[in-house]
Structure 1
Amino acid sequence: MRKLHIERLGHRGEGIARDGNARVFVPYALPGETVTAEVEGDQARVVEIIEASRERIAPFCPHYAHCGGCAVQALAPSAYAEWKRGLVVTALRNAGLSADVAPLVDAHGAGRRRVTFHARMEKGHARVGFMAARSHEMVEIGSCPLLVAELAGALPAARAIAQILAARGKPLDLAFTATLDGMDVDLRGAGPLEEHETNALIKAAEAHDLGRLSNHGRLVALRRPPLVQIGPARVPVPPGCFLQATEAGEQAIAARVLEATRGAKRVADLFCGVGAFALRLVQGARVSAYDSAVEAVEAMFAAARGAAGLKPLDGAARDLFERPLSAQELAPFDAVVFDPPRAGALAQAGEIARSQVKTVVAVSCSAQSFARDAAILLKGGYSVTRIVPVDQFRHSPHVEIVAIFSRGEGQKRPKRGLLG
């Protein structure tokens, strides 16, 4: 047993203390607290809080500190917002960049509209919940207060689906999305289904009023086509497709994208997904949209065809990691928006930096990869206009970032060799 003083919160939301000369990570402890803890290597488990932080508040979820879904739920709102903003500031500083970061935007809204539950089988019984922090142990939960009301039936449905497949003994993931026409579920990990399993799953979909149930993207039951509203369009979402975690988050990010690109006549939307930005941008500009997810791009175009009064929308399915749009291909555009996965857009950022596009909007879900891509743009002659952190994953260490870069008339691109 050790007595530890918590110095600060780390980028994963864990308290950081010193045990002699060693750094120790203490989940669920807050800065300024003194705790007794069991220490194993660089990890510690709080046994008792001797002196609590003045910023400590009561957590609202009974699963907090057991389920790994929330890392920071006991920190007062103002201190929490500053910590989360600080994740972006620190990532930029670690990349050697100095830039102003705006206050955190709370975009939790009505709650998260998508969630993935894990199912584990024990002696023919399905247990459903989330994984514990830094562990392969699954924590069975009764409810999650962070989800939208439309997902209130998700856990009972997940248990019913998992129990049908419990005899297989396989670990399962069940991805739920709230849509305009009910819950959409994509089952992963089961493999090919037997006929009796398919029939039982169809009955479960009806019993739990699911809009659609898929197995690794393959349709099992379709009772109502799942649609989401994006700007003026209703989008038929592919099974398990990417959406921003909250509707409020999508709207907050999209509003800043639209503001930054106002007046642009041609816009490129890179890593466009189902068109969260493209289907809004195309109300005022001609848009070319690209993403490697074929079904997502097809859904975006289908939605655009069903909406009235839009400017031209073109583009294609394209792997922007392997084949980024070149500086030459970007030449016709007044603005570029890019929203890559967590790994960032190293190759694409390099091509944008070599281009003469006047306005670039970077959207990111990783402070570290954002800082790396931002450094590439700045080295290429862009200046940063604004960086806004957006919180749609409340109580977690995940933060969305919207950053606006501009190239003035006097800011010319460097020679290719300067960018590596």
Structure 2
Amino acid sequence: MSAEFRIERLGAQGDGVVLTERGPVYIPFTLAGERVTASRNGDRADLLAVVEPSPLRVEPACRHFGECGGCALQHMEEGAYREWKRGRVVEALRSRGIETEVAPLVPCPPKERRRVTLSARRTEAGMLLGYNRALSHTIVDIEECPIARPEIVAALEPLRSLAKTICSTDKAFRLTVTVTGSGLDVAAHGSGKFAEKTRKAASDFTLRAGFARLSVDGEIVIEPRKPVVLFGDVPVSPPPGAFLQAVAGAEQTMADLVSVHLSKVKRIADLFSGVGAFALRLAKGTEIHAVEADAASLSALDRGFRFGSGLKRVTTERRDLFVRPVTAKELNAFDGIVFDPPRAGAEAQSRQIAKSDVLLVAAISCNPATLARDLTILIEAGYTLQRVVPIDQFLWSPHVEAVALLTRKKRRR
């Protein structure tokens, strides 16, 4: 049943929020102050019409917006969007009692996303390839994507054909597509049992399409050219499915902030190092010890170091930092620390950093809530928060990166 609502504010996921006697109602694709009609279902409602639009409402950049769940805020004026996203970091810190100046959001231009994860599914009408609707398993078949690099958009039809070639399941599966210096790296997950006939067909198709690599569930099917990404000027070939920052420009901004903060130290611990986005850049000026749980990522980092030029010594250690964080005693061998954990944050590791004697720390996070929790641990131990910089690499989504830089005076013994 439809009803009329007045949007009071935007929620953390970018939905409009209405406060009612039965609790808040969340209405996607709306803006604060708007009067809308929507069909309510519990605490959510589907937008039917905007009766009184906000002056901040703009024309979306993509024909699929409002149907596809990949973007939440294409309808919001750019300046207001940037301030709202910066506000997510401000509010997360404030909720933990951290009052500090937060820099303006570093923006993300359209067409810069080098890594996307598409959903695919075989249907009677053909192969669907796109993104899920918001809060749904329904796949919206896409013909364009204004956040993605042009190389990905140009390959949507070949990728759809590849998905059809490798599919041997009636369930949805994923294609993670990454733009690299040697072509597209395509990693399929959950596409079904891979028969030898399918392997041959997929290999032939990959060669014809000019893709750099195809892997299925972590196994390389064919690799005509090693996928290569640059960390500064150090080339690295990441393993199939390895974590990589979504936007190269955002990664460089983060690395620049960390490099300046840690520029005068002699030895750095890079925790949750991945394939070396920070370690191999920082190694231009200082020794690095990189710690990561994924063995394949560490191997790629090590190869990048061994074949790179002009680098200080880089050592690696495979270690699950959630289970066995680097202890304060071990950390005392370093002058600086950088850590970039998954969305769950680094609570256990932060408690060890707090007990250490390390004076300079750079914390990177894609989750303002867990970043605020981890910073609270460090601040309570005597660290001073010098700077917080929010960075947009997930354009038109509620997700935001942040770099926090901390210092501490040398403790008396």
Q: Same fold (TM over 0.5)?
A: yes
Judging changes above 3 Å, is the alpha-carbon distance between structure 1 residues 289 and 338 closer, same or farther for their aligned structure 2 residues?
Answer: same
Q: Is the 8 A contact 1:124 1:166 kept in 2?
A: no
List 4+ stretches of structure 1 deviating above 6 A.
none
Q: Which secondary structure does the structure 2 equivalent of 1:119 belong to?
A: strand
Separation in 1 of the partners of 2:378 and 2:368? 15
Partner of 1:276: 277
Deviates more, 1:15-24 or 1:292-301: 15-24
**By how many angstroms is 1:409 displaced?**
3.0
* Letter aligned with residue 134 of structure 2: A
Residue 153 of structure 1, CA deviation: 3.5
After TM superposition, give the deviation of residue 307 of structure 1 in Å.
Answer: 1.3
Aligned alpha-carbon RMSD (Å): 1.4
> Do 1:124 and 1:169's aligned partners in 2 also have CA atoms closer than 8 Å?
no
User: Quick one: distance in 2 between partners of 1:327 and 1:252?
Assistant: 29
Q: Distance in 2 between matches of 1:321 and 1:166?
A: 35
Partner of 1:199: 200
Deviations 1:317-345 (A, max 9, x none): 11111111100000021110000001101
SS at match of 1:299: helix
SS at match of 2:8: strand
Cα distance in 1 for residues equivalent to 2:155 and 2:397: 21
Partner residue, 1:10: 11
Q: CA shift at 1:231, angstroms? A: 1.4
Give secondary structure in 2 for the equivalent of 1:168: coil
What residue number does 1:264 align with?
Answer: 265
Aligned residue in 2 for 1:244 = 245
Residue in 2 aligned with 1:111? 112
Question: SS at the partner of 1:105?
Answer: coil
The amino acid across from 1:125 in the alignment is G
In the alignment, residue 197 of structure 1 is paired with which amino acid?
A: T
Unmatched segments (≥5 aa) in structure 1 = 414-420
3-state SS of 1:198 partner: helix
Letter in 2 for 1:293: D
The CA distance in 2 between the partners of 1:54 and 1:16, in whole Å, is 18
Structure 2 Cα separation of the partners of residues 165 and 272 of structure 1: 32
| Other-structure match for 1:380 | 381
Within a 5 Å distance, the mapping from 1:79-228 to structure 2 comes to 79-108=80-109, 110-123=111-124, 125-228=126-229
How many residues were matched structurally? Answer: 412
Please give the alpha-carbon distance, in whole angstroms, between the structure 2 residues aligned to 1:276 and 1:86: 27
Contact 1:108 1:246 in 2 (8 A): no
Which residue in the other structure is 1:296 paired with?
Answer: 297
1:256–1:107 CA distance, 2 compared to 1 (3 A): farther
The residue type equivalent to 1:228 in the other structure is V
2:282 maps to a residue whose letter is L
Distance (Å, rounded) in 1 between the aligned partners of 2:25 and 2:141: 28
Instruction: Tell me how far apart the structure 2 counterparts of residues 299 and 167 of structure 1 sit (CA, whole Å).
Output: 31
* 1:168–1:192 CA distance, 2 compared to 1 (3 A): closer
* 3-state DSSP of counterpart to 1:325: coil
* Deviation (angstroms), 1:290: 0.6
Tell me: CA distance 1:274–1:166, structure 2 relative to 1, closer, same or farther (3 Å): closer
Cα distance between partner residues in 2 of 1:153 and 1:8: 37
State the SS of the aligned residue for 1:101.
Answer: coil
